[in-house]
Amino acid sequence: MSLQQLARAGRTPALPLSLTLADAAGPAQLQLLTLLRVLPGQRYVGAGVWRGRAVLAKLLVGPRAARQFQREREGARLLSTQGLATPTLLAEGLREGEGGWLLFEFLQGAENLATAWAEIEPLEPLADAQTQVLGEALQAIAGLHAKGLWQEDLHLDNLLRCGGRVYVVDGGGVRAEQPGQPLSRQRVLENLGVFFAQLPQALSPFIEELLVYYLLANSEHALPLEALEKQIAKVRAWRLRDLLAKAGRDCTLFSVSRGPSMLRAIPRDEEAAILPVLANADQLIEHGHLYKTGGAATVAKVNANGRPLLIKRYNIKGVAHWFKRFWRPSRAWHSWIEAQRLGFLGIATPRPLGVLEHRTLGLRGSAYLITEHLQGPDLMQCFSAHVDDAQVPEAQLEALDRLFASLIRERISHGDMKAYNLFWERGQWSMIDLDAMQQYSSQASFIAAYGRDRARFLRNWPASSALYQRLDERLPRL
């Protein structure tokens, strides 16, 4: 295969594939065995064999290949010349009009810190294992900054742990201020903001404690916590906007198809499993366990190859109802977007697995939303035995405190805070039925919406009951 052919190979070229690449010793075959990252028609990153040696190959194709090649090569050179731990660049080349390649040594047994973090993220915030991973990452970042460099695309995937060292990879994102001279304080704050903005909100109270690991390796600047927190908030807001935009377009994270007859979106890693579910949603609902039927929505638990899922079908009740709905995003799409928002913000909700809008010449009709199925009891069931004595388990009350605190912090209103819309799952309350959810930019608007949410939540029980009174005392007021 040639680089030109690779540019047309799409997201899943057949493996293994062979390309003839050249270095100073002449041409040789690269056998690409696995793909680690793909941007169709732009970049293919994978592991393979070249001249009998395991390599990590970055193959750059398409109209921007030359520019990306120069950035990758310059970044790798900066890391190497400043003495930072990074895989050795073994070979490189650029063919005008075709593309470029960079072949790096393959670090056998290496683990990226994102994988290490994923295994320990569910632990209590700043457990010892979490501290170790984040401490390693911050010391590697500090080493970059001490040499006047920063990683523009800074995340745990670009840090590899191998043989007791942490290696910096992805030279395409490496930038320099004054190589060899410590990075300026403002640039440090901006770059650390990018790093901390990707961590769970639950770790926010521990940022000052984590900064110690950075300062042990680079104490050039005092780093005001307030200034760093402002930068983190700025980056988080940008990342959220970016995610919500990606949830509606075809990209690495999501498979999205748009046309005059339908709009469909699925997380990329669930595409193979969920496509047949969406294609047969009505039949699955018919044979599933119905929770709600008729009216504006039909809700059913279904079995898809042994996996329990929830399908919610948003119905069109008639012509008048259609005139109200066809011109605006469906409630399924609104729920899809709001679920992405909650997931990003660390507020529990069933993972959204797929959404489908049926359309006629672009005008919206019925729609479907598929999510994970929650196995736990709802809040009404959990609290029903305690209406008169209010002796709710403290763990559930504390989880409720955390949920309301998160909603207040992010200025999010659920819009229908029934006890049946909260489920007890893995030690936290998970919210469902996001049709009316909204995040407010104005505190004044949010206060009114929060008041309605709070009042609706309390109306789940008689105002004279002990449970109502205890929750009324406990839930924050704005």
pLDDT of residue 324: 66
Inter-residue contact 311 to 368 (CB < 8 Å): yes
pLDDT of residue 475: 96
Give the closest residue to 174 by CA, choosing from 154, 196, 199, 195: 154
Q: Please report which confidence band the pLDDT of residue 322 belongs to, taking 50, 70 and 90 as the band edges.
A: low
Q: Which CATH number fits domain 3-105: 3.40.140.10, 3.90.1150.10, 3.30.200.20, 3.20.20.20?
A: 3.30.200.20
Inter-residue contact 313 to 376 (CB < 8 Å): no
Residue 327 has pLDDT above 70, yes or no: no
Inter-residue contact 218 to 182 (CB < 8 Å): yes
CB atoms within 10 A of CB 83: 10
How confident is the model over 232-285, as pLDDT tens digits?
A: 999 999 999 999 999 999 999 999 999 888 999 999 999 999 999 999 999 999
Strand partners, 95: 99
Give percent above pLDDT 90 in the chain: 85
> In angstroms, what CA-CA distances link 198 with 35, 235, 240, 263?
25, 9, 10, 29
pLDDT of residue 318: 62
pLDDT of residue 320: 62
Residues 49-60 have a mean pLDDT of: 95
pLDDT of residue 296: 81
Residues 405-434 have a mean pLDDT of: 96
Residue 323 has pLDDT above 60, yes or no: no
Pairing mode of beta strands 165-168, 262-267: unpaired
Q: Which amino acid is at 334?
A: H
Query: Mean of the per-residue pLDDT values for the chain?
Result: 93
**Where in the chain are the domains?**
3-105, 111-246, 254-372, 379-474
> In angstroms, what CA-CA distances link 112 with 119, 162, 166, 306, 314?
12, 9, 9, 32, 42
CB within 8 A of 389, min separation 6: which ones? 466
pLDDT of residue 134: 97
Give the closest residue to 45 by CA, choosing from 156, 170, 175: 170
Q: 254-372: same fold as 3-105?
A: yes
Q: Please report which confidence band the pLDDT of residue 28 belongs to, taking 50, 70 and 90 as the band edges.
A: confident
Is domain 111-246 given the CATH code 1.10.510.10 in the classification?
yes
Backbone angles phi, psi at 19, to 5 degrees: -130, 140
pLDDT of residue 22: 79
Q: Which CATH number fits domain 379-474: 1.10.540, 3.30.559, 1.10.510, 1.10.3470?
A: 1.10.510
pLDDT of residue 362: 60
The domain made up of 254-372 has a fold known as Phosphorylase Kinase; domain 1 (3.30.200)
DSSP letter at 436 equals T
How confident is the model over 343-375, as pLDDT tens digits?
A: 999 999 999 999 999 887 666 778 999 999 999
pLDDT of residue 442: 92
pLDDT of residue 360: 73
pLDDT of residue 153: 83
- For residues 243 and 121, give the distance between their C-alpha atoms in angstroms, rounded to a whole number: 20
In 128-205, the DSSP E strands lie at: 149-151, 159-162, 165-168, 174-176
CB atoms within 10 A of CB 221: 16
CB atoms within 10 A of CB 293: 12
Tokens at 210, concatenated: 């984590």
Pairing mode of beta strands 428-431, 422-425: antiparallel
